[in-house]
Amino acid sequence: MDGTLVDTVGMWNKIDYLLIKQVSGKEVDLSTLMEDKNNFFANNTKGNIYLDYSGYLIKKYNLNITKEELLNLRWIISNELLKKEIHYKEYVTEVIKNLKELGFKLALATSGTKNQVNIYSTKNLNTKLKLNLYFLRVFARKTPRIPAQTPR
């Protein structure tokens, strides 16, 4: 979805900014976060990439939190921003509706989580497109488990 239907690149930098600020009180430059994140993901492609990225943030910004706690907090922050701040790209809704009306069978594959797809489709305040009405299949990553005691 990212890069084709929605553009969340800037949002992930904002999430990391809010995450670091919430845990440490530090304010970090957004362009530095973007460069660091891009470098990390370009050079780390195996294992639990998001948990490893949490470890990277902990080490770089000297955060006093576990990787698991930081990752869970990142998902919580991202869920809230996805609901309020993400818009479909220009003309996306019209193109998908037209393709469906013309009889095309549509499927969606994303590196995003099932929870993120659900937010885009049903909970995002800016949504104009209910994905399940237009895509026969949606392939997404399994949503990470957030412990029950963590506010959702």
| pLDDT tens-digit readout, 79-125 | 888 888 888 888 888 999 999 999 999 998 887 888 888 887 877 65
Residue with tokens 């922050």: 77
Say what the pTM is. Answer: 0.75
pLDDT score recorded for residue 43: 93
CA of residue 124 relative to chain centroid, distance: 13
Enter the tokens of residue 48.
Answer: 């639990």
Mean pLDDT of 137-147: 71
Instruction: Tell me the chain's radius of gyration from C-alpha atoms.
Output: 17
Residue with tokens 């957030």: 146
